[in-house]
Amino acid sequence: MRSLLRQQLPEVLQGVVPLAAVAIVLQVLFVRAPADVFLRFLGGSVLAVVGLVLLFAGVELGVLPMGRYVGAALPRARSLALAVGVVFAFGFATTVAEPDVLVLAGEVAAMPDSPFSAPVLVATMGLGVGVFTAIALLRVVRGVSMVLLLAAAYGLMIVLAFATSADFVPLAFDAGSVTTGVLTAPVVLALARGFTSVLGERDAVTDSFGFLGLASTGPILVVLLLGLVA
Amino acid sequence: MTWSELLQEIASTAISVGLAVGPLALLFLVFQVFVLRLPVPEVARVLTGGLLATAGLFLFLLGVGIGFLPFGQVVGESVTELPQTWMVIPLGALLGFVTSWGEPSVRVLAGQVEDASAGSIRSSLVLWTVCGGVAVAVSVGMARIEHGTNLLWLVVPGYLLVMVMMAFADRRFLGIAIDAGGVATGPLANTFLLALALGAASALDPGDPLVSGLGLVALIALAPVLSVTVLGVVVRVMERKGASLR
């Protein structure tokens, strides 16, 4: 375990040091933040480095294997309904628990002409993510072209963006980023990777990616639709 | 920051991490009992890893909350101190690049791409392309705040451009492209860059800082999709010419 942690440190430093260095240069050149804000930034950076070392070690040790086990078990279960159900559950459960989703739902519910309450919105966004994760899985099983699916999703998004109430547009596009919690992203990526790894001789790269991205178009479309109804 | 504020930050971070981890752990355990039935050492490894990741996530988010958020806001507000207003554009590009460079999920995605492609698509290539995309997004976002451009006029042509480019791109890159849009809007972007945008908006734009500041996340979600699709086009053109990417 100690070697696993030590292995992560160089990569974490490589990731965080440029940001901290730029921040320090800016502070010296023109920002001149109050001393306590700057010291908190430095302290926060140290905490972030320690946290990332643990996070990456944990992702490597447990989270990626877990996603892979679950993903690989889906085609073996020989029941498409079960596979669809499981990815839907993953999408739905991780979304309704995501703190950012709760914040966003609160914002939409607070819009002047919004007839929706926050819990209804959270559930709807969870449905959006769950349904689109399931669509991503069906795409791989049925071999539907990604181009076709993306063209449909983006086309619908653009049409709705013009049709819907203007206030909902920025919120909708913000909603797209909520499915990407730091833990959800590796789990979904590994789940997709595990699922496609047992499918046989198909192209692993084409099939393994797109789950997370399609999942995040779900809530965009849902919030745009809500704006249309409102 | 007083002690009670610090305690409050610790409590709210712990609650968010617990809420994010809980359902995942529950689903895994249900799946383990009914479908997977992995041997005990494997389950122990997964759970240890999960615990480590949870502790790491908590410390990381706490560091981001107490340190990055307030500093990002101060940086954003001090853009008025710049000798020339156009300098917000290269500043945005620089901060956008280093922020997504440090974003954990971007690195996980890059690693998974290298893994799935058996090394034929290098993780560093994905990392540089995503960070380059975010750099452009943040500089465009800063320019938008300065000029007060409507978000639709940037986002709609952006997605239309993706739709057009898709037809010319190497198919393998499309899934990676849309996933890249998802991972780029991680916790660093959502705190540091968002605080930067809100700070810049309150300093530069007399209008509603929420409206002009919030659109940045939408641009950060869009730009890596575009940049990875462009990478897909480049790869396809190069392969047609017979050149290897490696």
**Inter-chain CB proximity B181 and A176 less than 8 Å:** yes
- Residue A178's nearest CA partner among A211, A218, A208 is A218
My answer on whether B72 and B100 are in the same domain is no
pLDDT above 90: residue B130? yes
- Count CB neighbours of B119 within 10 A: 10
Are residues B153 and B89 located together in one domain of the fold?
Answer: yes
Q: Which of A105-114, A190-199, B71-80, B160-169 has the lowest mean pLDDT?
A: A105-114
Are both A54 and A95 inside the same structural domain? no
Domain boundary among B13, B43, B77: B77
Please tell me which residue, A180 or B5, carries the higher pLDDT value: B5
Residues with Cβ within 8 Å of residue A16, at least 6 apart in sequence: A45, A48, A49, A52, B102
Q: Is B162 on the interface with A (CB under 8 A)?
A: yes
Q: Which of residues 154-183 of A touch B (CB under 8 A)?
A: 154-155, 157-158, 161-162, 169-170, 173-174, 176-177, 179-183
Domain end position, chosen among A41, A64, A87? A64
Lowest-confidence segment of A146-150, A179-183, B170-174, B187-191 by average pLDDT: A179-183
Mean pLDDT of all residues in chain B?
86
Test mutation, A11, A13, A29, A40, chain B, max B CBs within 10 A: A40
Same structural domain, B129 and B35: no
pLDDT of amino acid B246: 46
A13 and A83 housed in the same domain: no
Identify the three-state secondary structure at position B119: coil
Domain assignment present for residue A212? The answer is: yes
Looking at chain B, the whole-number percentage of residues with pLDDT higher than 70 is 93
CA–CA dist A9, A183 (Å, integer): 19
Total domain count for chain B? Answer: 2
Would you state the pLDDT for residue B210? 62
Q: How far is CA B88 from CA A124, B79, B84, in A?
A: 38, 7, 8
**How far is A143 from chain B, CA to nearest CA, in Å?**
13
Provide the residue range defining the domain that includes A89: 77-229
pLDDT at B36 over 70: yes
Residues B40 and B92 in one domain: no
Is A72 a member of any domain? Answer: no
The span from the CA of A178 to the CA of A170, in Å, is 13
A112 and A88: one domain? Answer: yes
* Residues B130, B35 share a domain: no
B215 Cα to chain A: minimum distance (Å) = 6
The domain total for chain A is 2
Task: Judge if A116 and A52 occupy the same domain.
Answer: no
Contact (CB, 8 A) for A153 and B161: no
Per-residue pLDDT at A113: 67
Query: What's the rounded Cα separation, in Å, for the pair B206 and A85?
Result: 49
Q: Is B239 left (phi over 0), alpha (psi -120 to 50) or beta?
A: alpha
CB atoms within 10 A of CB B103: 28
Spell out which residues of chain B touch residue A8, defining contact as CB-CB under 8 Å: none
Cβ distance B1 to B46 under 8 Å? no
Distance from CA of A119 to the nearest CA of B (A): 15
In a domain, residue A70? The reply is no
| Alpha-carbon distances of A122 from A1, A67, A185, rounded to whole Å | 38, 24, 19
Are residues A130 and A28 part of one domain?
Answer: no
What per-residue confidence (pLDDT) applies to A51?
Answer: 93
One domain for residues B124 and B197: yes
Residue B208: predicted pLDDT: 66
Query: How does residue B209 score in pLDDT terms, banded at 50, 70 and 90?
Result: low
Q: Which residues of chain A have pLDDT under 70?
A: 113-114, 179-180, 200-201
Among candidate residues A64, A95, A114, the one where a domain is terminated: A64
Residue A98 sits in the same domain as residue A202: yes
CA B41-B47-B48 angle, 5° bins: 85
Which residues 6+ apart lie within 8 Å of A230 measured at CB?
Answer: A111, A113, A114, A115, A116, A165, A168
Give residue B115's domain range.
82-246
Q: Is residue B113 domain-shared with residue B178, that is, in the same domain?
A: yes
B37 and B91 in a single domain? The answer is no
Identify which of B71, B179, B188 has the shortest CB distance to residue A38.
B71
How far is B193 from B204, CA to CA, in rounded Å?
A: 16
